[in-house]
Amino acid sequence: MRAFLIPDFESPPRLVELPPVPPAAGEVTIEIEACGLNFADLLMSRGKYQERPEPPVTLGMEMAGTIIRLGEGITGLVPGDRVAVFNGQGGLAEEANVPAERCLKLPEGMPASHAAAFQVAYGTSHVALAHKARLQPGERLVVTGAAGGVGLTAVEIGALMGAEVVAIARGPEKLEVARKAGATHLIDAESEDIRGQIKALGGADVVYEAVGGELFNQCFRATNPDGRILAIGFAGGEVPQIKANHLLVKNLSVIGLYWGGYLAFRPSVLTDSVAQLFDWYAQGRLQPHVSHELPLDQAAEALELLRQRRSTGKVVVRMR
């Protein structure tokens, strides 16, 4: 089978041929149809992600496909089941062995490109907004990186939950994508005085912040008393330093979220969240946005789309 892996942290990823491996007890083999890419894949390829598996490592954190083989002790799944899996690695390959407990059966009619783009982006935003920030109808939600893989889902879910969504993204084309996803107000990330623009709208009750650096600081200063700031990621490359005295004076909460971390200590948060999201999808209330689909032999180009921020929504790699 073909797989796109990093041989070491000093070398670029490459497409190689690997022999298929039978699934171990408790595992199933997935014939992968599609893999959704995430900014974390770029970090992992350089050994800078919070989870640092030793190379060689096949990239691709989330995948969708069909079960073709079962290891010992598997119940509730059979060959032919179409599933989505968050495995942290292994998705950029034609096959993968994954723990059966991580397999989620797909809603009827859900295409592989949507399923592969679904779990991390929608899961991160739903857990962040519903479980961590307790977003309420009528609150003003500011989303940075609002046309990106996770940011766009935050716009969509925030609007679905009844919030007044302020989208911050770079350029009119990305802002238009955010508007179509449900944003009420649009702010260009390259404009001056972003803090002032947010304050003019009435300030932020909740901030979904995925960029970091000066943009985090601007949003922090525009957050209303008793507001909540969700630290989702630092796609801009700079981790902000938070002034604790400002938290105290304005009664602010800064809330960190590492979606995949719940697998280790409270997986029910993720399974309950995905169940809700799949239900919304089945009702037609969520519309995944995939801006690029590329074949496996163009996986390097697909990652470059993320690196250069030329995509909106998700980038998906298809195996066939």
What is the per-residue pLDDT for 238?
87
What would the pLDDT profile of 5-64 be if each residue is shown by its tens digit?
A: 999 888 899 999 999 999 999 999 999 999 999 988 998 888 888 777 888 999 999 999
Q: Are 149 and 314 in contact (CB under 8 A)?
A: yes
Q: Mean of the per-residue pLDDT values for the chain?
A: 94
Long-range pairs for 184-191: beta carbons < 8 A, 24 or more residues apart: 184/159, 189/144, 189/215
What domains can you pick out in the chain, each with its CATH number? 2-118+288-318 (3.90.180.10), 121-260 (3.40.50.720)
Structure tokens at 297: 């032999």
What would the pLDDT profile of 273-288 be if each residue is shown by its tens digit?
A: 998 999 999 999 999 9
Neighbours of 53 (CB within 10 A): 13
Distance CA 147, CA 161 (A): 18
pLDDT bucket at 263, cuts 50 / 70 / 90: confident
Strand partners, 294: 317
Q: Is the pTM value of this prediction over 0.85?
A: yes
Q: If you average pLDDT over residues 143-160, what whole number do you get?
A: 96
Contacts of 168 (CB under 8 A, 6+ apart): 142, 143, 144, 145, 146, 187, 188, 189, 194, 215, 219
What is the per-residue pLDDT for 111?
95
pLDDT bucket at 222, cuts 50 / 70 / 90: very high
Residue 106 has pLDDT above 80, yes or no: yes
Distance CA 295, CA 41 (A): 17
